[in-house]
Structure 1
Amino acid sequence: MLARFDEPIAAIATAPGRGAVGIVRVSGRNVQPVIDAVCGRALRPREATYLPFRAADGSPIDHGLALHFPAPHSYTGEDVLELQAHGGPVVLQLLLARCLEAGAALGLRVAQPGEFTQRAFLNDKIDLAQAEAIADLIDASTEAAARSASRSLSGDFSREVERLREALVHLRMLVEATLDFPEEDIDFLQQADAQGQLERLQQTLGQLQQRARQGALLREGIKVVIAGQPNAGKSSLLNALAGAELAIVTPIAGTTRDTVQQTIQIEGVPLHVIDTAGLRDATDEVERIGIERAWSEIRQADAVLFLHDLSRREDPLYQAADAAIADQLQRHLGPDVPVLQVWNKTDCIPSANHAGASEDVWLSARTGQGLEALRKRLLQLAGWQAVPEGLFIARERHVRALQEVQAHLTQSAACLQARQPALDLLAEELRQAQQALNTITGEFSADDLLGVIFSSFCIGK
């Protein structure tokens, strides 16, 4: 995103569509000409004023509230004007057009996606992790994700990263000082307990990684694909997990021709569950395409529920088809993708015939028996470990950055523990660890990374 940050910007800051109230936001080094033209009077800082919003000929476009936030005490750190009008899309478009007209001499233009928040970041109002938390709070699909995003927005995650960074900088300082005074070298580092400091760093990092993984799970969730032969009960299982009749269920094999997806939440963790066409050799062209799509979803899954029909368990043909699917799953899936064996239709056979592996799940999608056990196993597959309080939202890029820090600290430990410690290599590994850590809060971030992050925001934010 190649934005010009010396130009003032304007945008509708509320969601598209009709509503009781809509907001038009303007931000720049000086928005006074827009205030004078649209509001027709001076505004007291940070005080809502009810007045008519004027068109170029002086006629009112609408009546509403105007607020002026002088720099630097605003969301973006610049002068900000917010006009709260009635939430009709035509009214808001007229109001935005009037602002652009009034600010034409200033170079006022329509904001790009995320540009208001990007300016807040560039003007040191928030760091990059907090900026991302704003988008995550807006997009939160569960209450737990919203609360965690709010903690990240308030700076909880950033403070954890900063504490780790300060400890890392202190250790770097010791090593760099030793390089400047080589006659002191190892004795100096031993007296300063460099080894102990590094071990404590790794321990703190491990705790932060664990919480970041949980935070990323709250934000991203996992993709769970239900796979199996026709009429195993895949659609019934999706409906049971979702608590709604989302997929068509009939006794006719091949009823499901396309994928059906629903996001459910278990203990606040979003799981994107996908029902797929029954896997078999199909001659019908439509069903064949559905099966191809099923395998496409399976290859992209974070976890697979391999659903079996208990009522056909003793049928040799059914067993052979299940074995063929299991072999294909092994070829299509990576080694880190778990496959959970789920046996459906326990209501159709005696409980004495429910023998199988201890990690398998036995249930009836029709009666709901065993669904709670499946939910618990899904959380285990996701890697969820509930943290009582203080969990912050995180993104996959944060997790990868912390993994990079871990790799550099591991190399640092190897350098320090060598028979002849390579202090120059140790210093370099610590420097790279700090650089990886800095990418989380944006103290070191490439412009293209910023472009990707902020382009995912909505316009007006």
Structure 2
Amino acid sequence: MTRKLPIIAVATAPGKAGVGVIRISGPQLLPIAEALFHRVLVPRQANLLTLRDAQGELIDQLIAIYFAAPASFTGEDVLELQCHGGPQLLELVMKRCLELGKAWGLVLAEPGEFSLRAYLNDKIDLAQAEAIADLIDAQSEAAVRGAARSLQGAFSNDINSLVEEITQLRILVESTLDFPEEEIEFLENAQARQRLSGVMEKLYALREGAKQGKILRDGIQLVLAGAPNVGKSSLLNRLAGEEVAIVTPIAGTTRDRIKESITIGGVPMHIIDTAGLRQTGDLVEAKGIERSWEALRAADLVIFLQDPGSTGAVDSATLTLKAQILEAIPPKCPVLEVINKSDLLGTPTANQNKMRALLISAKTGAGLEVLKQKILESVGWGGPQEGAIVARRRHLDCLDRASTHLEKSQQFAADGNISLELFAEELRLAQDQLGQITGKLLPDDLLGKIFSQFCIGK
């Protein structure tokens, strides 16, 4: 599944910095270190050393720290070199390490290979490994804290606790399979139904928390849609707090998608301002409109912006466009109907007060705070929670499938439909789904796909 050779990679981000870190992990590190620095390194001691090229010319004066297995991130011998952070300098250090390490098989690391080795050596489970990537990629303070909790094992502990409860229930059920005449008595005496209900309640709560965690991790793809000149770019600028889109009175000013990432209430929002949706003979604008429809097809939330004019009436063209948008967006994608330019409507009439759409003014900012609250409500955000974690789509899918299997097991334990064999089988399937989250029961091909999405050096 993974190579037994020593691997090397730059562990810090590309670009200039005060410090750049190079990480080496695997067997034969002590002889590699001795070849590099002509001395034996003591574990967990910082060493100020000089690295020279093949001609004896100075490359860098750096700090080297050696971590002996298994007391390291990967569970293998690890050598970390803290160099000066110039890209060209790091390239020279890498080149020299590969030259001298060639005799011991030193090779460049693949994406995520350090974390993969940590997982395979039982230093972390799969959910914790994913949390490392999520912590680095976190887009808000809440996401940072949620990823840190997952990395410390909060999410894994909840999963493992559920797995243990299901295991104990399986032991009871399967030990009774040879005595079919005692099925009803067993269910009553062992309180199997009550125990199953307790497991399901905990699983549902964990799933709801994971949904919030996915929002923290991935953010919300928020698409601003509507006819030309209804104020989509003005609303984007107002939400972003700066002029990121050109605004003019001319319809069709925005000819392509404009994306800006912000946070609303601690939730990352990826706002996409689209070209006005209309029929046009302009080839450039038509291409932008097609991209607008593509953005709608991938949206998590759509704000359908309208400009009914001073009368507050919504015309048939707007209703037709709304129907087209509803047909294009993903199932269950919420749509917020928003009427812009409320500053031009004057005193709201009784008819306007009955409108379901939210009245705002992107020009003055009126109604923006209410709109932000409606955005959070529409995506199911329950607000910052103590003990929140981050989660991925993969985790939610596993939790959903586990819930389905537990619901089926409940059916097979119901009066008049008792079948301990099927009860036990559905419990096993639910347990397998939960095991996939932490990596205890995961196909090798899926494991490789997950770690291939990590950065090199991670």
Return the match for 1:245 from 233, 243, 246: 243
Task: State the Cα distance separating 1:330 from its structure 2 match.
Answer: 2.7
Percent identity of paired positions between Structure 1 and Structure 2: 51
Does structure 1 residue 50 correspond to structure 2 residue 48? yes
Q: State the Cα distance separating 1:335 from its structure 2 match.
A: 4.0
Partner of 1:337: 333
Asked if 1:435 corresponds to 2:432, the answer is yes
1:399 is matched with 396
Question: In the alignment, which of 334, 345, 348 is matched to residue 344 of structure 2?
Answer: 348
> By how many angstroms is 1:313 displaced?
4.8
Measured in 2, the distance between the counterparts of 1:349 and 1:312 equals 5
Aligned residue number for residue 279 of structure 1? 277
Deviation at 1:418, TM superposition (A): 4.3
Structure 1 residue 188: deviation in Å? Answer: 2.2
Task: Specify the alignment match of 2:73 in structure 1.
Answer: 75
Instruction: Please show how residues 254-265 of structure 1 align to structure 2 within 5 Å.
Output: 254-265=252-263
Q: Measure, in 2, the Cα distance between the counterparts of 1:214 and 1:183.
A: 45
Q: Amino acid of the residue matched to residue 233 of structure 1?
A: G
Letter in 1 for 2:375: L
C-alpha contact (below 8 Å) 2:30/2:41 kept by paired residues = no
Q: 2:203 aligns to what SS in structure 1?
A: helix
Counterpart in the other structure of 2:373: 376
Aligned with 1:379: secondary structure? Answer: helix
- Where 1:394 maps in the other structure, the secondary structure is coil
Q: 1:27 Cα shift?
A: 0.3
Decide whether the 8 Å contact of 1:175 with 1:423 is kept in 2.
Answer: yes
- Kindly report which structure 2 residues correspond to 1:149-164, keeping only aligned pairs within 5 A, or say none: 149-164=147-162
Once the two structures are superposed, residues 362-418 of structure 1 have per-residue CA deviations (whole angstroms, 9 ceiling, x without a partner) of 110011110000000000111101243100111111011000000000000000004
Deviations along 1:35-68, one digit per CA (max 9) or x if unpaired, are 1011221111111110102323443311010000
Measure, in 1, the Cα distance between the counterparts of 2:450 and 2:213: 18
Distance across 2 between alignment mates of 1:44 and 1:246: 54
Matches within 5 A, 1:15-414: 15-311=13-309, 313=311, 319-353=315-349, 355-357=352-354, 359-414=356-411
Sort the Cα spacing of 1:356 and 1:307 in 2 relative to 1 into closer, same or farther, 3 A: farther
Give yes or no for contact 2:310–2:344 (8 Å, CA) kept in 1: no
Contact 1:33 1:102 in 2 (8 A): no
For residue 279 of structure 2, what is the amino acid of its counterpart? Answer: D
Distance 1:66 1:340, change over 3 A: same
CA distance in structure 1 between the aligned counterparts of 2:184 and 2:54, rounded to whole angstroms: 75
Q: Which moved more, 1:236-245 or 1:263-272?
A: 263-272
Q: Are the aligned partners of 2:2 and 2:117 in contact in 1 as well (CA < 8 Å)? A: no
Shift of 1:304: 1.1
What is the distance in 2 between the residues matched to 1:29 and 1:7? Answer: 7
Q: Cα distance, 1:359 vs. partner?
A: 4.6
What is aligned with 2:444?
447
Question: CA 1:320–1:128 in 2, change beyond 3 Å: closer, same or farther?
Answer: same
For the residues of structure 2 that align with 1:420 and 1:124, how far apart are their CA atoms?
42
Distance 2:2 2:105 in 1: 10
Q: Give distance in 2, aligned partners of 1:106 and 1:6.
A: 11
Q: Which moved more, 1:347-356 or 1:210-219?
A: 347-356
Q: Which shows bigger deviation, 169-178 or 95-104? A: 95-104
- Residue 49 of structure 2 aligns to a residue whose secondary structure is strand
> Deviation at 1:358?
6.2
Counterparts of 2:276 and 2:453 in 1: how far apart (Å)?
36
Q: How many residues are paired up?
A: 457
How far apart, in 2, do the equivalents of 1:305 and 1:243 lie?
A: 18
Distance 1:403 1:313, change over 3 A: farther
Q: Secondary structure at the match of 2:365?
A: coil
Please give the alpha-carbon distance, in whole angstroms, between the structure 2 residues aligned to 1:93 and 1:121. 28
Determine the C-alpha separation between the residues in 1 that align with 2:31 and 2:325. 65
The range that moved more, 249-258 or 330-339, is: 330-339
Tell me which amino acid in the other structure corresponds to 2:327. Answer: R
Amino acid at match of 1:402: L
Report if aligned partners of 2:398, 2:433 keep a CA contact under 8 Å in 1. Answer: yes
Offset from partner CA, 1:151-191 (integer Å, 9 cap, x none): 00011101111111111111111111111444543312321
SS of the residue corresponding to residue 412 of structure 2 reads helix
| 1:178 match: secondary structure | coil
Q: Aligned with 1:355: secondary structure?
A: helix
**What is the TM-score with the length of structure 1 in the denominator?**
0.96
- Structure 1 pair 86/335, CA: closer, same or farther in 2 (3 Å)? closer
Conservation of the 8 A alpha-carbon contact between 1:5 and 1:119: no
Q: TM-score, normalised to structure 2's length?
A: 0.97
Is contact 1:227-1:307 (8 Å) kept?
yes
Consecutive unaligned residues in structure 2, runs of 5 or more: none
In 2, the alpha carbon distance for the partners of 1:258 and 1:324 equals: 22
CA contact (8 A) 1:37 1:54 kept: no
CA 1:227/1:313 → structure 2, altered by over 3 Å: closer, same or farther? Answer: farther
> Within 1, Cα distance between the matches of 2:371 and 2:402?
36
After superposition, the C-alpha distances for 1:111-148 in whole angstroms (9 at most, x for unaligned) are 00100010000000000000000000000011110111
